[in-house]
Amino acid sequence: MNNDFKLNLGLNQNIVQQQNVKHEQIQKFSNVSIPETFKILNKKIDIYFPYTKLLPEDWAYEDKMLVLLIPKFRLEVTIFYEKNGPSMREKYNSKFLEYVDKNVYMNYQNLIGGSV
């Protein structure tokens, strides 16, 4: 393998690693507050992904998906990004987040007629 190829390969891997770190460092409204909801989204990413382009580009992917599944959170996510508002964990207690997460998951299962 020539040295130029090795150098380019190393640079490309470094760029991918930097992008992954940046994604993890982005402040997110939803963070990991609703894990069952995000299990749904990860399994059905091909359905929802095209609609993420309708939402602001600077929002984290998870927050875009949250708003697509639960439009009621759009205002709160907007405030989070535009005015440095509170995240879900800062705003809601854990019991409420569990309730939201469980209900979104069950409603989605009912909608598609089975398990996800």
Given a contact cutoff of 8 angstroms between Cβ atoms, the answer to whether 41 and 16 are in contact is no
- Mean pLDDT for the stretch of residues 19-39: 65
pLDDT surpassing 90 at residue 83: yes
Query: CA dihedral in degrees (86, 105, 116, 42; nearest 10)?
Result: 0
The pair phi, psi for residue 68, each rounded to 5°, is -65, -40
- Mean pLDDT for the stretch of residues 101-111: 73
pTM of the model as a whole: 0.65
The pLDDT of residue 37 is 75
* CA distance from start to end of the chain: 45
Higher pLDDT, 75 or 38: 75
- Mean pLDDT for the stretch of residues 16-42: 63
Coil/strand/helix, residue 38:
helix
- Mean pLDDT for the stretch of residues 44-64: 84
